């Protein structure tokens, strides 16, 4: 196990999915990480990706990568239906796991994943990048000045003019659907703002090609607080949230991915409107550096896995509500 802060954490990526390129860049830019290996289902695909990304080792199977004793951490960008299997296998091979969101197909699987990582003494974190941005810490401090919180509202959508049926988001057997792909971010923002679980939820959804294509939810919290969100594949790009209190509100119009890596913004609306901005920040680099720092310290941070499971629990309740047309208590 790498516990020397002078040595970078050695990373492997399990799959050549499109988002793997973004994480590869982040690992290469991180000061405490090194991308060592890539795995794909074929040697040809792995070799081609490794050559393009300048990665020294390519494996033709996922198991071969996991058996590489030189690797400290694994990034898993596989479809959600495969997250539990390969997270558990990675943990059993002594690898720390950064798993793409949603953490799993459901909260029961997520709990099993956590247990496997705990039993093997490795870190588990889901790949929600925005929570690692410098702006997120700034916003958290400003929330304390909004008064008593009353409402959180969030939206994350984009529009498919033609449904790409070969896309994993449109495949129910792979864990597709807008709730897991987009709503997961909104639910995380709501839990981030309120710092506790809702007491009950209600949701509605429209379905196409076997997945929830458009989804809207209401979440009730203690102390007269409420949250709402919508997500979907049939509306123009929206990626914003608002946290409103008795004195003022905070608005972020691009919370999932800031418009620019050079600066990121948010507003406080109240007696006066104030725009806040950060300097240069690449949120996925922050995520990799934070995760790698945990590995180097050898002091696990279980709260990252816990918030991921709680996000899954809320999503499960919302999905049940939409399917059954009733309020679901947590």
Structure tokens at 179: 């709730």
What are the structure tokens assigned to 308, written together?
A: 């991921």
pLDDT over 60 at 48, yes or no: yes
Asked whether 146 and 242 are in contact (CB, 8 A), the reply is no
Structural fold of domain 130-285+313-329:
Dihydrodipicolinate Reductase; domain 2 (3.30.360)
For residue 272, the Cα-to-chain-centroid distance in whole angstroms is 33
Cα 138 to Cα 276: distance, rounded to the nearest angstrom:
9
What does the pLDDT look like over 109-160, one tens digit per residue? 999 999 999 999 999 999 999 999 999 999 999 999 999 999 999 999 999 9
Protein fold of 9-128:
Rossmann fold (3.40.50)
Predicted TM-score (pTM) of the model is: 0.95
Please state, in angstroms and rounded to a whole number, the distance separating the CA atoms of residues 32 and 290. 9
- Residue 151 neighbours by CB distance under 10 Å: 16
User: 4 falls in which pLDDT band (50, 70, 90)?
Assistant: low
Read off the pLDDT of residues 235-277 as tens digits, 9 standing for 90 and up: 999 999 999 999 999 999 999 999 999 999 999 999 889 999 9
Q: Are residues 322 and 212 in contact, defined by beta-carbon separation less than 8 angstroms?
A: yes
Q: How far apart are CA 163 and CA 177, in angstroms?
A: 12
Q: Are 278 and 261 in contact (CB under 8 A)?
A: no
Residue 1 has pLDDT above 60, yes or no: no
Q: How far is CA 172 from the centre of its chain?
A: 19
Give the residue extent of every domain in the chain.
9-128, 130-285+313-329
Region 28-51: mean pLDDT is 96
């Amino acid at each position: 196990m790498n516990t020397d802060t002078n040595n970078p954490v050695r990373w492997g990526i399990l799959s050549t999915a499109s988002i793997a390129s973004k994480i590869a860049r982040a690992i290469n830019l991180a000061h405490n990480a090194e991308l060592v290996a890539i795995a794909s289902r074929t040697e040809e695909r792995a070799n081609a990706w490794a050559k393009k990304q300048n990665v020294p080792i390519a494996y033709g199977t996922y198991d071969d990568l996991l058996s590489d004793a030189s690797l400290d951490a694994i990034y898993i960008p596989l479809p959600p239906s495969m997250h539990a299997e390969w997270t558990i296998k990675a943990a059993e091979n002594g690898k720390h796991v950064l798993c793409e969101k949603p953490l799993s197909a459901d909260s029961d699987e997520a709990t099993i994943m956590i247990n496997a990582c705990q039993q093997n003494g490795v870190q588990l974190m889901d790949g929600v990048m925005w929570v690692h941005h410098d702006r997120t810490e700034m916003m958290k401090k400003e929330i304390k000045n909004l008064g008593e919180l009353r409402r959180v509202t969030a939206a994350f959508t984009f529009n498919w003019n033609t449904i790409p049926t070969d896309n994993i988001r449109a495949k129910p057997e792979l864990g597709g659907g807008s709730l897991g792909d987009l709503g997961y971010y909104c639910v995380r923002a709501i839990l981030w703002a309120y710092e506790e679980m809702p007491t009950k939820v209600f949701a509605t959804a429209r379905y196409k090609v076997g997945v929830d294509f458009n989804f809207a939810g209401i979440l009730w919290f203690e102390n007269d607080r409420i949250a709402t969100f919508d997500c979907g594949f049939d509306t123009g790009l929206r990626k914003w949230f608002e946290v409103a209190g008795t004195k003022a509100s905070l608005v972020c119009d691009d919370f999932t991915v800031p418009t620019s890596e050079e600066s990121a913004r948010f507003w406080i609306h109240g007696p006066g409107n104030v725009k806040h901005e950060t300097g240069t920040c690449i949120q996925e680099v922050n995520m990799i550096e934070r995760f790698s720092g945990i590995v180097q310290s050898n002091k696990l941070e279980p709260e990252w896995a816990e918030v991921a499971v709680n996000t899954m629990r809320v999503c499960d309740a919302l999905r049940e509500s939409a399917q059954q047309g009733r309020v679901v208590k947590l």
